[in-house]
Amino acid sequence: MIRDEPSIRTNYVANGSVRLLFHPVLDHGRSLELHTIAECAGEQDPLAFWKVHDLLFERQNEAWAATNEVVLSWLDDLKLDQAKLQSCTSDGAVSEKLVGIDRERVNAGIRLRPTFQVNERTIEGGIPYEQFAKVFEGLLPK
């Protein structure tokens, strides 16, 4: 997650200037399972994907060691269909799709994490919010 993502959301996404896309990166052993849970939540409600996204970043330290059952229990408040969620996460199709998406990233030469794309421009590594804001302002109509 971008360190300053909350500021970007508040100042640029909320007013319709920026749309934010999340491209999964499978860098760790548990990554695929966690991305699969988020993807499956998104299949029920795209907004739920972003809620799971935020929750997994918030509980990053716990997510390392948490089992899928524990992680799924964190999503109770989202009022998702738990049976569908369990079935989706255990279905290999979603994981396979995520592996394919990650392969596309590698093939595109995007290896550093985090990496951002702002329209056609690629930014490697974390940059402060002010720098994002400067890039955005340069792209927005005057």
Partner 1 sequence: MMQRFIGCENTFSKPSRSFLWAAILLTVSLLAGCSALNEQPALTQSPAPKAQAIATTAPTATTAAIEGAEVVDWLQVAGKEGDLYVLGNPNAPIRLVDYSDFL
User: What is the number of alpha carbons within 13 Å of residue 125 lying toward its C-beta?
Assistant: 2
User: What is the Cα–Cα distance from 63 to 60, expressed in whole angstroms?
Assistant: 5
Cβ-based neighbours of 49, under 8 Å, separated by 6 or more: 22, 38, 39, 41, 42
In the beta sheet, which residues pair with residue 123? 116
The reply to whether 105 sits near partner 1 by the rule CB under 8 A is yes
Q: Is 96:33 a contact under the CB 8 Å cutoff?
A: no
Number of residues that bind partner 1 (CB under 8 A): 54
Residue span binding partner 1 (CB under 8 A) among the ranges 72-80, 82-90, 111-119: 111-119
Check whether the bond before 114 is cis (ω within 30° of 0).
yes
- Return the number of the residue (86 or 115) whose C-beta is nearest partner 1: 115
Residue from the set 19, 69, 125, 142 that interacts with partner 1 by CB under 8 A: 19
Q: How far is the CB of 21 from partner 1 (least distance, A)?
A: 5
Residue 29, token pair as written in the block: 């052993």
Write the binding mask 37 to 76 for partner 1: x where contact by CB under 8 A, - elsewhere. -x---x--xxx-xx--x--xx--x--xx------------
| Residues at the interface with partner 1 (CB under 8 A) | 1-2, 5, 8-9, 12-28, 30-31, 34-35, 38, 42, 45-47, 49-50, 53, 56-57, 60, 63-64, 97, 101, 105, 110, 113-119, 136, 139-141
